[in-house]
Structure 1
Amino acid sequence: MNIFRLLADFSHLTSIFILIQKIKSSSSCSGLSFKSQVLYLVVFLTRYLDLFWSFTHSFYNTTFKILFIISSAYIIYLMLHEYKPTHDPNVDTFKIQYLLGISALLAVLFPSEYSVSEVLWTFSIWLEAVAILPQLFMLQRTGEADTITTHYLFALGLYRALYIPNWIYRYFAEGYFHLIPVVAGIVQTVLYSDFFYIYYTKIMKGKKFSLPV
C-alpha cells in the first residue's frame, strides 16, 4: 500500500470522527445534511457488500470497511433520534433522488463487468462523487458554518483529493488504471474546489467561514 492511499483512508476516518465529535460536543446536528449522511451510508453498504461473502480481505481493509459502515450508521442514528430536533429539514432540501438515479444509470450503462457486485460497486463510486452535494447546498443556503463542520468537510475532501496521486502512483508503480474511479474522483474534487479555496483564505487565517448566499 502506498502512502497516498494510507493518508487518504485516515483522512476519511478522521472526517467521520470529527463529525461525531461535533455532534456529541454541541448536542446538535445543526448545519449538517441528513441527506448527505444517508447517501454515504448507501455508498458504504453497496461498496462493501463483499464483506458478507468474501473472507480474503486483509485485516486493514476489513477493519476500515466495518468502521465506515458502523460509524456512518451511528451518525444517522444520532441525527434521527438523539438530536433530531436540532436538524432543520426546511434547509436540507436537495433532491437526492436525482443523484441516486444518475448514479444508478451510470452503473448500469458503464460497469467494468455485468455482475451484481460490479454494478453495485460502480454505483457506489458515482454516488460517492456527488454525495456531498446536499451538504454543500446547505452551506450555500445558510451562507456560513461552524469551524468544526468546515474541518469535517476539509478532511472529507482531502481524502478524495489524495486518491488522485494514489492513482498516479499505482499507474507508474503497478501498471494499474481504472477509468471509473479516476473520473468520479476528479468530479468529486472539483465539487470541493470552491470550498477548499474559502477554507484556505478564511479558516486557515482565523476568519469565519462564510459563503455568498
Structure 2
Amino acid sequence: MKQPIQALQAWLRRQPPKIKAFLAFVSAIAALVVIRLVVYDHDNLFIAAEAVHALGISVLIFKLATEKTCAGLSLKSQELTAIFLAARLYCSYVMEYDVHTVLDLTTLTTTVWVIYMMRVNLNSSYMLEKDNVSVLYVVIPCALLSLVVHPTTQHYIVNRIIWAFCVYLESVSVLPQLRVMQNTKIVEPFTAHYVFALGVARFLSCAHWILQVWDTSGRLLTALGYGMWPSLVLLSEIVQTFILADFCYYYVQRNRLLNPGIISEFNVLN
C-alpha cells in the first residue's frame, strides 16, 4: 500500500502550482459532495468546526502545561482570536443565544488563559522578534471594511457592524502564526497540530456555509441581507480555508513520512 501512495505523492510534488491548485479544488468539491451525502443536518458542521477549534486550543494548553514553553506560538494570533471570539460571543448572545454561545464562551476562556500564560508565566520563551506582524495592520482594515459592508438585517446597526468585524477578523487571524512559522523555519509539533486543527475547523465552517447555500438554492444569501455582505461572508470563509490548505496538506504528508519530533521545511513556510 505504501508504494502506490508514495508514487502518487512523488507525482504530485512534480506538478506545477496551477495543476496542484486545480487538484486541490477538485478534491474540495469531492469532499463537499461526500459531506452532503453523509451529514444530514448541515448545521452540525458549524458546531463541529467550533469543537475542532476548541480541541486545537486544548493542544496549546497541553503544550504550555507540560513543556513550560511558548516557543513557536504567536501571541498576536491568540490576541486576534480572543478579539473575534469576544465579538462573536456578544453577537451570539444578543442575536441567537444557543449552543454556539456556549462553545464560543468555552473557546474564548481557554484562549484568554493561553494569552495569560504567554504574557506572564512563559514570557521568557516567547519569540517576540519572530512575531512581527502588527495587530493594527490586521484589525484596522477589518474594522474599516465592517463599517462599509455589513449585514442588512433588522438588528441594531452596531450589532451588525460587530458581526461583520468578527467574520472578517476570523478569516485573517491566523496570519501572525503563519508568519512566526515562516520566520523560524521550524514548526514545533504541538504548534503544527494546533494550526492543522484550525485548518480542519475552517474547512468544516466553509462547507457549512456552501452546503447551506446549496440546500436553500441560494435563498440563504438573501436571508443574510443584500448587497456585498452575503458574498463577503462566503469569501471570508474560503480565504481562510485556502490560507491553511497548503499547510494542512504538508502537515499530513510530513506526519506520514517523518518520525515524531520537529516538523520543518513545509512548502507553506518557504
Q: Does 1:188 pair with 2:261?
A: no
Q: What is residue 83 of structure 1 aligned with on the other side?
A: 122
Q: What is residue 151 of structure 1 aligned with on the other side?
A: 193
Runs of 4+ more than 4 Å apart: none
Change (3 A) 1:5 1:56: closer
Contact in 1 for aligned 2:73/2:177 (Cα 8 Å): yes
2:212 to 170, 174, 189: 170
Q: Does 1:210 pair with 2:251?
A: no
Q: What is residue 132 of structure 1 aligned with on the other side?
A: 174
> 1 CA distance for matches of 2:76 and 2:126?
11
Q: What is residue 68 of structure 1 aligned with on the other side?
A: 107
> 1 CA distance for matches of 2:170 and 2:179?
16
**Greater relative contact order (Cα < 8 A, sep 6+):** 1
> 2 CA distance for matches of 1:10 and 1:48?
15
> Any unmatched runs of 5+ in structure 1?
none
AA aligned to 1:108 is: L
Deviations 1:68-123 (A, max 9, x none): 22111111111111111110211111122111111011101111137111101111
> Any unmatched runs of 5+ in structure 2?
1-40, 222-229
Query: For the aligned residues, what is the CA RMSD?
Result: 1.9
1:56 deviates by 5.3
> 2 CA distance for matches of 1:189 and 1:169?
15
Change (3 A) 1:51 1:158: closer
Q: What is residue 31 of structure 1 aligned with on the other side?
A: 72
> 2 CA distance for matches of 1:125 and 1:116?
14
Deviates more, 1:163-172 or 1:23-32: 163-172
Q: Does 1:42 pair with 2:83?
A: yes
Give the TM-score taking structure 2 as reference length: 0.73
Contact in 2 for aligned 1:147/1:203 (Cα 8 Å): no
Contact in 1 for aligned 2:82/2:111 (Cα 8 Å): yes
Give the TM-score taking structure 1 as reference length: 0.91
Q: Does 1:4 pair with 2:45?
A: yes
Contact in 2 for aligned 1:150/1:199 (Cα 8 Å): yes
Change (3 A) 1:196 1:55: closer
Contact in 2 for aligned 1:198/1:209 (Cα 8 Å): no
Change (3 A) 1:55 1:192: closer
Change (3 A) 1:133 1:46: same
> 2 CA distance for matches of 1:51 and 1:184?
19
Deviations 1:159-198 (A, max 9, x none): 0111222113212334423323211011101111221222
Change (3 A) 1:93 1:62: same
